[in-house]
Amino acid sequence: MPIQPFFVVIVIIVCLIIGLSKGGLGAALVVLCIPLLSLVMPVQQAISMTLPLLIFADLFALAAFWQRWDLHHIKLLLPPAIVGILLGTYLLANLDDVALRRLVGLFVLLFVIYKIVVEPRLLNVVYQPRDWHGMLTGVVSGFGSALANVGGPPFTIYMLFQQELTPIAFAGTATLFFAIVNVLKLPGLIAAQVFDLHDLTSVLWALPVIPISVYIGRRVVNHLNRKRFDQMMLALLTFNAIFLLTVPPSS
């Protein structure tokens, strides 16, 4: 792919988004990456390009939350997540670009609905923990992550119900879980011939943006007006979802 100015801008924005999300600004940012990259490339290629950037960013997140995770939940969610990853990768490899755009758009729209309607009500729910809840969460999170990097909402719903977890353990468990999931996605994408090494080499120049934005995220996260920030992110996500659902890909 010849490097065009718009491509450069989009890649820098995506790296900034990934770094800020790992720096503490939340999973809603990562959901923007595929829709943004789909403005300049097919969805399969966008997913192929995003994955190594996420893995690179995970190194910094793991260092920040080292051993702050809850291994019980990791062991419960991770094996079924592999099943979800396999299912998501299969769909990713076999759907054409138009179908993938519509599916990603639907996932993004569901994420917006979750943030507006479901998440505010979660803490008022009386919950009885069951292991199968964690297993189902693992499957759905692995599937959503493999298909469109939208594995965060089901994971968050499940983890919010685990009242014994401190906020730092919550963040550490999410960091380790998705770091492992991202690595596990890579062999499937390679086997399905979705991952292209050229996609990685074409964005190596942008990697320094990620640690810088992780640092920025950690510095500004406690000083943001969180409500307004979330509203802005949801507006962007809604726009991207509508774009993916209604606008055909450029030929």
DSSP per-residue string spanning the chain:
----HHHHHHHHHHHHHHHHIIIII-HHHHHTHHHHHTTTS-HHHHHHHHHHHHHHHHHHHHHHTTT-S-HHHHHHHHHHHHHHHHHHHHHHHHS-HHHHHHHHHHHHHHHHHIIIIIHHHHTTS-----HHHHHHHHHHHHHHHHHHS--HHHHHHHHHT-TT--HHHHHHHHHHHHHHHHHHHHHHHHHTT---HHHHHTTGGGTTHHHHHHHHHHHHGGGS-HHHHHHHHHHHHHHHHHHHHHSPPP-
- Looking at the domain assignment, is residue 27 inside a domain? yes
The pLDDT confidence band at residue 85, using thresholds 50, 70 and 90, is: very high
Average pLDDT value for residue range 52-76: 88
Distance CA 150, CA 141 (A): 7
Average pLDDT, the chain: 81
- Looking at the domain assignment, is residue 55 inside a domain? yes
pLDDT at 222 over 80: no
At 225, list the tokens: 């007006």
The pLDDT confidence band at residue 165, using thresholds 50, 70 and 90, is: confident
Distances (CA, A) of 49 to 14, 70, 199, 224: 10, 30, 5, 29
- Looking at the domain assignment, is residue 239 inside a domain? yes
pLDDT at 251 over 50: no
Q: pTM for the whole thing?
A: 0.79
- Looking at the domain assignment, is residue 93 inside a domain? yes
- Summarised one tens digit per residue, pLDDT across range 45-57 is 888 888 889 999 9
At 84, list the tokens: 């979800």
Contact 227, 26 (CB under 8 A): no
AA letter at 45: Q
- Among 125-139, 171-185, 206-220, name the one with the lowest average pLDDT: 125-139
| Domain count of the fold of the chain | 1
Q: Which residues contact 161 (CB under 8 A, 6 or more apart)?
A: 122, 125, 127, 129, 133
- Looking at the domain assignment, is residue 228 inside a domain? yes
pLDDT-above-90 percentage for the chain = 15
Straight-line distance from the first to the last Cα atom of the chain, in angstroms, rounded to the nearest whole number: 14
Q: Which of 23-27, 49-53, 107-111 has the highest mean pLDDT?
A: 49-53
- Among 57-61, 104-108, 163-167, 213-217, name the one with the lowest average pLDDT: 163-167
pLDDT at 2 over 60: no
- Summarised one tens digit per residue, pLDDT across range 4-24 is 888 899 999 999 988 888 876
pLDDT at 183 over 90: yes
pLDDT at 77 over 90: yes
Domain holding 207, by residue range, is 5-246
Contact 144, 87 (CB under 8 A): no
- Looking at the domain assignment, is residue 251 inside a domain? no
- Looking at the domain assignment, is residue 145 inside a domain? yes
Q: Which of 45-49, 81-85, 102-106, 132-136 has the highest mean pLDDT?
A: 81-85
